């Protein structure tokens, strides 16, 4: 317990294929009606984080974190923010470093285990004194970071943080990297490498003595990228050291607030090790729901004014867990 044995998600006709679920929303989904107000906050290392607010004047707020190479304007972020607002929540969409449209000042960027920036944002939102309840919602990389944060920093998490939802979470980063290196999934890794190039090129211009894009085209996998860039830029020995220290799975048993993990069984990004069944079974707080289909950050739905199932499920979980 608490493993959700029967998920309510049913894919629309012709949308059960995991690659359709993963790719189609990115290309075709348009979410309208979200008007952000941007706020920039400083970080302790003299850098900044850009937050995009969508307020409806409530005493509860959800902080939403995107995935690898995402930002606050991705359709899955906008869809979640819109559903939260409709469900009576203020929402703030966080742009990780270098993801808000402006390069950050520091040499470092963002990564899957960066709980310090999460803590900075949560502390900032809580310090305003506006909210009685705070929820955390994360997609993919963002889901891994919030789960690691909740387990790693349990004594330091603000007591107003009452619940969390993590969607399409690579709980085991090494397993996820291996999965993305499979022949049928390499198109995803290729896309990520193309997007990441722009950020690395910007850092090379800022810090030519520390970062180079020479022979970037020779990098074929995310593990190779992490070995060359992510690990050394953020103090890890190599990619495997980064994966081992940044994966949320070892921290799940320490989570002490109601937390829902939604990972589709057919997610092309996730290895079997990314489904924390034993951890959920042993926990009083960690709920694991694994629909048979849904792809990666998919869970498409064509009813309820375009709100996706994962968005309805997240808002419903928060409503049930936070009186």
Catalytic site residues?
Answer: 140, 267, 296
Q: How many CB atoms lie within 10 A of CB 246?
A: 23
Contact 163, 135 (CB under 8 A): yes
Contact 89, 59 (CB under 8 A): no
Question: At which residue do the structure tokens 């493993």 appear?
Answer: 3
First to last CA, the chain: 21
Q: How many CB atoms lie within 10 A of CB 302?
A: 10
Residues 6+ apart with CB under 8 A from 156: 119
Residues 6+ apart with CB under 8 A from 187: none
Contact 147, 89 (CB under 8 A): no
């Amino acid at each position: 317990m608490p493993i959700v044995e029967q998920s309510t998600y049913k894919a629309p006709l012709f949308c059960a294929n995991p690659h359709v679920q993963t790719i189609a929303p990115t290309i075709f989904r348009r979410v309208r009606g979200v008007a952000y107000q941007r706020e920039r906050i400083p970080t302790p290392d003299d850098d900044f984080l850009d937050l995009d607010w969508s307020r409806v004047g409530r005493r509860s707020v959800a902080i939403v974190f995107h995935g690898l190479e995402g930002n606050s304007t991705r359709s899955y972020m906008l869809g979640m923010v819109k559903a939260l607002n409709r469900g009576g929540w203020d929402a703030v969409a966080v742009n990780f470093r270098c993801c808000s449209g402006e390069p950050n000042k520091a040499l470092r960027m963002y990564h899957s285990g960066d709980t310090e920036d999460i803590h900075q944002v949560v502390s900032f939102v809580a310090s305003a004194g506006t909210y009685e309840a705070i929820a955390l919602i994360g997609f993919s990389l963002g889901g891994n970071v919030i789960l690691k944060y909740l387990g790693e920093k349990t004594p330091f998490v603000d007591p107003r943080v009452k619940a969390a939802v993590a969607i399409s979470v690579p709980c085991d980063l090494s397993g996820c990297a291996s999965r993305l290196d499979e022949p049928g999934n390499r198109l995803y890794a290729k896309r990520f490498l193309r997007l990441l190039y722009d950020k690395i090129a910007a850092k090379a211009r800022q810090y030519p003595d520390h970062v180079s894009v020479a022979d970037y085209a020779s990098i074929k996998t995310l593990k190779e990228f992490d070995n060359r860039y992510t690990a050394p830029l953020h103090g890890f020995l190599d990619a495997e050291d980064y994966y081992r220290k940044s994966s949320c799975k070892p921290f799940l048993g320490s989570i002490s607030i109601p937390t829902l993990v939604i990972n589709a069984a057919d997610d092309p990004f996730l290895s079997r090790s990314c489904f924390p069944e034993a951890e959920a079974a042993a926990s009083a707080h960690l709920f694991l729901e694994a629909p048979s289909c849904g792809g990666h950050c998919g869970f498409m739905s064509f009813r309820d004014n375009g709100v996706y199932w994962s968005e309805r499920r997240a808002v419903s979980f928060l409503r049930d867990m936070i009186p």
